[in-house]
Structure 1
Amino acid sequence: MARFVVVLPLVPLTPGDTFTVAQWPLHVTLVEPFETELDGDDLGAVLAPVAAGAQPIRADVGADAMFGPRRDILVSLVHDRGDLAVLRSAATAALRERGIDLGHTRVDYRPHVTAKRHGRVHEGERLDLTTVALVRLRPPETSHHGRIVGSWRLGPSRV
Structure 2
Amino acid sequence: MKRPDTVGMGSASARSLWVVVALFEAVTPGMSFSRREWPPHVTLASPFVVEAPAEDLARAVESAGGDEWPLRVRFGGRAMFGARHDVPVQLVESADVVALHERLAVVLETMPGFVARDPRHWRQGYRPHMTHVPTVAVHTGDSRELRSMALAELAGPTATVIAAFDGSRM
Question: Fold match, TM over 0.5?
Answer: yes
Deviations 1:59-88 (A, max 9, x none): 1111111222332221111112x1111111
Q: How does 1:5-154 map to 2 (within 5 A)?
A: 5-80=19-94, 82-103=95-116, 104=119, 105-106=121-122, 107-138=124-155, 143-154=156-167
In 1: Cα distance, 2:106 partner to 2:85 partner: 30
Secondary structure of the structure 1 residue equivalent to 2:27: coil
1:148/1:112 CA distance change after superposition, 3 Å: same
Q: CA RMSD in A?
A: 2.1
User: Does the CA-based 8 Å contact 1:132-1:151 persist in structure 2?
Assistant: yes
Identity across matched positions, percent: 30
1:156/1:15 CA distance change after superposition, 3 Å: closer
* TM-score, normalisation: structure 2: 0.79
The unaligned stretches of length 5 or more in structure 1 are none
Whose helix proportion is higher, 1 or 2? 2
User: Does the CA-based 8 Å contact 1:62-1:123 persist in structure 2?
Assistant: yes
Aligned residues: 152
In 2: Cα distance, 1:83 partner to 1:7 partner: 14
In 2: Cα distance, 1:83 partner to 1:71 partner: 27
